[in-house]
Amino acid sequence: MGKPPPSLRILLRKIGKLRFFYDVALTGGCPASIQTLRMQNFASQCLDQTKALLKLNLGSISADGSITPVPGEVSRADEPGHAALAFGEYYRATGELTLDRSNIPEIAARTITAQVRLSNGSDNGMAFACLGLLAFGPTRERNPVWEILDEATRNLIDERLAITCDHHDHVQAFDIAKAVCRFSFGLTKKDETGALVDRFVDRITAASTGGFHDDASRQANPDNLGGAFDLYGVVALIFIRQALQLHANIQLRDSKLPKLRTHAEKYLRIILETVREDGLGWSFGRGIGSYGQTHCITLLLQALRDRWIPVDKEPLARDLIRRLYAHFFTTFFDAEHGLIVIRDGERDTIPRHTMRMANFDAARYLSQWSRLAKTVGGTMDVFRPTSKQAVCRLYSLDKTPRKEQGLLSYSDPTSGLHMVLPVLSNGSHKFSDSLAFPHMPGVMDWPANVYTSPFIPEYTIGDRVYTPSFYGKNLQVAMGTKAGTYHFRYEQPDLIDKDEKLSSGVASLKVDWELNGGRIIGRFILIPKAAVTLENFRLVLPIAATHSRMTPGSALILGPESHRCEVLKDDFHGEWLETKVVSEDPKHRTCWGKMHFYQVLERNKPLALRVGTPYAFEIAFQPDIVRAGG
């Protein structure tokens, strides 16, 4: 990446001056006079950053509207649509028709044309493109972009917006956006929006007793385990809410909002109670990193506007917006080049996310935040919790006779330990992001696109690798006999392998996580149901670092004493292997920084397991947690 042109350097310096404020304010270490940030100031900051991002990415839009990728990446089919919505949201936030002497409606028309003319244009891209079109006006009349489009493109829009497939994942939200555009622009007299919203909500209810969106349900594919309760539930709710806001029929919008609110409140509770002190947001499942910050901010701002957050929780929500944004700003915004960086030599993200998409999405969200912040108004004061006691919560995501799935959250202000432990499906993302281990980026890390077994054992029996992840029975949190001790327990009556396939009649597994202050103890008891042979036993301790340049000083990271790991009991008699160094291997990166080492405990000799005999493994961690800035 080259340096930004001189015309942008002043704007970038203006943006950069606030890095100190956001970094220090996270810990409340700044003077009281600057611990109050008004929403209006926040809105202005967002617009400054939007202008910088759009100007720097303007050159990537070709004359035909297609997007030129950054070196080393390949463009996605939906990138023109993402660009169209970014410029549409900028217009909604500012009302301006030019940017850096470029005509915004003309740019939007080019990218929309490129999107609709793709022979295999994605539902994602078309949904973004149509909302970008609606952003310039809710009907065809007096819409400056529609006026520019030629007749062939207009006809193609009608064709591409037709809903021909029945989706069960978050793509349902894109179908709803397409239906909104098709009806609002008079391309059909039948409005399918209401029925599609009802179907989306009904499917949430059918797949989750907790009221969460399942992005890989058994309804979609009977072979799925079900229970991919990841960030894409937040994505779907945000996108549907945004689409309804642009619907020409206000009555329909108002009639569907109560249904959306019921499920949005489930996610809002998790966000309000799990965002870390240093502002790190959603950190498990597919599509995290930069998007784990931006999606949470957007849902919080939408909820504040719609008054979906209880009055007594509003101060916390406002402060979390500031913290989430601060972490996003200082972790993913490269002030030197003025771009959002989600992939470089030190960090990575999921394969299909590109830098161009991330930059246009960031510009879209920043414009949206600016607009919403002006509507919400008020301040973003530092919120100080009244209690310094450790807090342990279990969120039930699904509970049926077949399986139980949930999310454990634990935070101890004294030690700095703040982790989440998901027991849910990976869905289509067959890596480590949803495995049932303590997630605490910067302290307890894992590689972004590599399957491993971080902090938990895996058992190879026959040709299948089993893990204490994905599902359980009798999920519960109980107080321990020692003061301040919590236990998170569940059972797996049948083992489940890393591909989420159950094996009946092999063995069962009991899991008990003990949490006290900054100490974590994991206990795993394997009980064979048949005479089987354990071919391999393994546990991996990944050691990583946050980004060398883009890490806030307030970030919680692993200190020099590392995880302070101690094996308390091992009936498998595993041995620590020579440390594997992966610092120079580009495959081994997290969403936040570089992976450096793997310490592996392994037994690679066969072990005949006796029926009914419990085989126990216990391991303790007491990570040394420090601030990146000292």
**Residues 602 and 488 reside in one and the same domain:** yes
- Stretch 510-518: mean pLDDT: 98
Residue 573 within any structural domain of the chain: yes
**Residues 189 and 288 reside in one and the same domain:** yes
**Residues 215 and 89 reside in one and the same domain:** yes
* Interatomic CA distance for residues 562 and 546, integer angstroms: 14
- Stretch 205-216: mean pLDDT: 97
Residue 397 has pLDDT above 60, yes or no: yes
Residue 71 has pLDDT above 70, yes or no: yes
- Stretch 309-313: mean pLDDT: 96
Residue 375 has pLDDT above 50, yes or no: yes
* Interatomic CA distance for residues 621 and 437, integer angstroms: 12
Residue 588 has pLDDT above 90, yes or no: yes
Looking at residue 1, its pLDDT comes to 52
Which residue has better confidence, 118 or 198? 198
- Stretch 380-392: mean pLDDT: 89
Residue 364 within any structural domain of the chain: yes
Residue 32 has pLDDT above 60, yes or no: no
For the record, the structure tokens of 228 come out as: 């991919």
Mean pLDDT of the chain: 93
**Residues 300 and 410 reside in one and the same domain:** no
**Residues 554 and 600 reside in one and the same domain:** yes
Looking at residue 499, its pLDDT comes to 96
**CB contact set of 36 (below 8 Å; sequence gap of 6+):** 379, 380, 381, 382
* Interatomic CA distance for residues 16 and 579, integer angstroms: 39
Domain final position from 352, 376, 400: 376
Residue 13: CB atoms within 10 Å: 10
Question: What's the CATH number where 484 sits?
Answer: 2.70.98
- Stretch 201-211: mean pLDDT: 97
Residue 165 within any structural domain of the chain: yes
Q: Is the Cβ–Cβ distance between 440 and 520 less than 8 Å?
A: no
- The 10 Å CB-count burial string (b at 16+, else e) for 23-46 is bbbbbeebeeeebebebeebbebb
Domain final position from 331, 346, 376: 376
Residue 345 within any structural domain of the chain: yes
Could you list the beta-strand ranges (E) of 426-518: 457-461, 464-466, 473-479, 485-492, 495-496, 502-503, 507-516
Minimum mean pLDDT range among 4-13, 388-397, 497-506, 552-561: 4-13
Which residue has better confidence, 453 or 120? 453
**Residues 314 and 217 reside in one and the same domain:** yes
C-alpha pair distances (Å), 335 with each of 190, 324, 330: 48, 18, 9
Residue 370 has pLDDT above 60, yes or no: yes
Residue 386 within any structural domain of the chain: no
Residue 525 within any structural domain of the chain: yes
Q: What is the tally of structural domains in the chain?
A: 2
Residue 57 within any structural domain of the chain: yes
Instruction: Using alpha carbons, select from 126, 135, 149 the residue that is nearest to residue 78.
Output: 126
- Stretch 180-200: mean pLDDT: 95
Q: Is the Cβ–Cβ distance between 151 and 191 less than 8 Å?
A: no
**Residues 395 and 363 reside in one and the same domain:** no
**Residues 245 and 314 reside in one and the same domain:** yes
Question: What's the CATH number where 293 sits?
Answer: 1.50.10.10
Residue 487 has pLDDT above 80, yes or no: yes
Residue 502 has pLDDT above 70, yes or no: yes
Residue 327 within any structural domain of the chain: yes
Which residue segment(s) compose the domain that 449 sits in?
A: 391-627
Instruction: Using alpha carbons, select from 251, 230, 586 the residue that is nearest to residue 439.
Output: 230
Residue 168 has pLDDT above 90, yes or no: yes
* Interatomic CA distance for residues 228 and 8, integer angstroms: 42
Residue 537 has pLDDT above 50, yes or no: yes
For the record, the structure tokens of 195 come out as: 């029925």
**Residues 80 and 164 reside in one and the same domain:** yes
- Stretch 436-450: mean pLDDT: 97
**Residues 484 and 618 reside in one and the same domain:** yes
Looking at residue 33, its pLDDT comes to 41
Residue 333 has pLDDT above 70, yes or no: yes
- Using a pLDDT cut of 70, give the percent of the chain over it: 94
29: pLDDT confidence band, cut at 50, 70 and 90? very low
Residue 429 has pLDDT above 90, yes or no: no
C-alpha pair distances (Å), 562 with each of 163, 419, 542, 621: 52, 16, 11, 9
Looking at residue 34, its pLDDT comes to 44
**Residues 90 and 58 reside in one and the same domain:** yes
Q: Which pTM value belongs to this model?
A: 0.95
**Residues 157 and 85 reside in one and the same domain:** yes
- Using a pLDDT cut of 90, give the percent of the chain over it: 87
Domain final position from 343, 376, 409: 376
